[in-house]
Structure 1
Amino acid sequence: MLELTFGFFLVAGPAVVFAGISKGGFGSGAAFAAASILALVLEPGLALGAMLPLLMLIDLATLRPYWGKWNLRAALLLIAGGVPGVALGAALYARADADVFRVLIGVISVGFVLWQIAQKRGWIRMAARALPQWAGAVAGVVAGFTSFVSHAGGPPAAVYLLSLKVTKTEYQASTVLVFWAINIAKFVPYAFLGMFTVETGMANLVLAPFALLGAWLGVKAHRLVPERAFFLLTYALLTVTGTKLIWDGLT
């Protein structure tokens, strides 16, 4: 049961602003931190259901600033793979209990941080050449699946897009287009699986201004703010929340 208490909004408000900044300016990679944070205080399905309409609102708000600046071919490949990936996520959700999703969200959160550290240290290197088109479709499947189970489709999409040596803005615009489409694909199965409730709808109405504020700040930050400080905060949040979710799911 989702209770719209002051404590809920004290946690959810900043988390949704953070998601808007990430999706609006930094390629969507860290936006799922908001769902991870909400999953600390809500049943995971409700946390995911509460976030999806807000993420879709952020998508709409950020489409216009980046319109036409994307790599259309790459985006369409990722979307084509993303739809069956969403179907796989829906099939798992229908068969798994809440603790499975706590652990999944936690593992994806901590795995994201470890992946970024490994890249920075040179332990993992991005492809020197552009990955083939089939790899884009595979990345789309993984992005669709992880997006469905934790709103964390950014990293697999990034692996493919960054191999193409796209510019900062082309990368950002492509992720906006890809996850606008994937989030639309997620809406029907989320509704069918009961992840939307009257309470999550009320939360969406109250949190919508936070989402729009975050999206606006993200577009501004894309042009003005270095990414280092933002992602250091992201990694800290994801490490703490991911570890807590894994612990809760296993115990």
Structure 2
Amino acid sequence: MVLDLQFFLFAVPAVLFAGLSKGGFGSGAAFAASPFLALAIDPKLAVGLMLPLLMLMDVAGLRAFWRGWNWPVARALMVGMVPGVAIGALVFRQTNPDVLRVLIGAIAIGFVAFQMARGRGWLRIAAARESPRRGMFWGLVAGFTSFVSHAGGPPAMVYLLSQNLSKRTFQSTTLLAFWWVNLIKVPPYIAIGLFTPQTLLANLFLAPVALMGVACGVWLHHRTSDKVFFGLAYVFLVLTGLKLFYDGLT
């Protein structure tokens, strides 16, 4: 991985976009940063590079939405995320970059399809009582997808959207759960070797971009609708997902 102009042309918008999502829009689209970076560098390096930045975003976001979370809902997800991360670590060791490209691309396209189905009324997620077992199941799925591509948002949202949470509570609960899952991913990421001197150096350059993205996301959280933001996010995710899927297969 070379920290040249081409790298930063991909990395800066990817990290800024992730920060916007983390800071104001439930973190659902933050995983777009990894697929976008994977267009320029090895997907595994993209995943390793993004983790410290995502952890920084989580902390910055939690400060803005401190104690706004629903603890029983967050706890159920957090418990399930532990075995999910363990499974992800086992699978990740045996996955080559092309398979990972296909997986990340499929997750990106699947997430957009899920949101479109909800928006058109084809898929309805009815409000339900908090269920620890159900929360732990979706936490397990989120832990796995979060480990392999930082894509824990979609499965976590399936559970969170069924809990009839307010916008602020949803945001705070999401940040707390993903602060936890990103924290427990650090030891296996070190063991696998996803952190390199180049990725850590890139983190130093990109940390201000991450904080700027979170600050803008928090500001936008109070001043704009989710519809406009995610409308652009879905276009971005579909194009990126299709490109990665094609690259992985060919």
If the TM-score is normalised by the length of the shorter chain, which range does it land in? over 0.9
Residue in structure 1 matched with residue 94 of structure 2 by the alignment: 95
Counterpart AA for 1:150: S
Question: 1:196-223: per-residue Cα shift (whole Å, max 9, x none)?
Answer: 1011011100000100000111111111
Contact 2:14 2:32 in 1 (8 A): yes
Counterpart AA for 2:2: E
1:239 aligns with 2:223: no
Question: 1:120-151: per-residue Cα shift (whole Å, max 9, x none)?
Answer: 11111002423522110001001101111111
Secondary structure of the residue aligned to 1:32 is: helix
Distance across 1 between alignment mates of 2:228 and 2:161: 21
The structural deviation recorded for 1:227 is 1.1
Residue in structure 1 matched with residue 169 of structure 2 by the alignment: 170
Distance across 2 between alignment mates of 1:250 and 1:7: 24
Identity of aligned residues (%): 54
Residue in structure 2 matched with residue 57 of structure 1 by the alignment: 56
Residue in structure 2 matched with residue 179 of structure 1 by the alignment: 178
Worse-superposed segment, 171-180 or 224-233: 224-233
Contact 1:78 1:178 in 2 (8 A): yes
Contact 1:52 1:183 in 2 (8 A): yes
Residue in structure 2 matched with residue 120 of structure 1 by the alignment: 119
Distance across 2 between alignment mates of 1:129 and 1:170: 16
1:227 aligns with 2:220: no
Residue in structure 1 matched with residue 199 of structure 2 by the alignment: 200
Distance across 2 between alignment mates of 1:215 and 1:70: 18
Structure 1's unaligned 5+ residue stretches are: none
The structural deviation recorded for 1:99 is 1.1
Counterpart AA for 1:172: Q
Distance across 1 between alignment mates of 2:161 and 2:129: 8
Distance across 1 between alignment mates of 2:127 and 2:53: 36
Distance across 1 between alignment mates of 2:77 and 2:126: 17
Contact 1:131 1:160 in 2 (8 A): no
Question: 1:138-166: per-residue Cα shift (whole Å, max 9, x none)?
Answer: 01001101111111111211121221111
Structure 2 length-normalised TM: 0.98
Worse-superposed segment, 216-225 or 126-135: 126-135
Worse-superposed segment, 114-123 or 127-136: 127-136
Distance across 1 between alignment mates of 2:194 and 2:215: 27
Structure 1 length-normalised TM: 0.98
Residue in structure 2 matched with residue 137 of structure 1 by the alignment: 136
Counterpart AA for 1:166: L
Contact 1:58 1:211 in 2 (8 A): yes
1:156 aligns with 2:167: no
Question: How many residues in Structure 1 have an aligned counterpart in Structure 2?
Answer: 250
Counterpart AA for 2:15: V
Distance across 2 between alignment mates of 1:35 and 1:225: 25
Counterpart AA for 1:196: F
Residue in structure 2 matched with residue 107 of structure 1 by the alignment: 106
Distance across 1 between alignment mates of 2:17 and 2:96: 28
Distance across 2 between alignment mates of 1:127 and 1:80: 23
- Root-mean-square deviation (CA, aligned residues, Å) is 0.9
Structure 2's unaligned 5+ residue stretches are: none
Distance across 2 between alignment mates of 1:59 and 1:105: 22
Question: 1:167-216: per-residue Cα shift (whole Å, max 9, x none)?
Answer: 00000000000000000011111111111101101110000010000011
Worse-superposed segment, 26-35 or 149-158: 149-158
The structural deviation recorded for 1:76 is 0.7
Distance across 1 between alignment mates of 2:62 and 2:131: 27
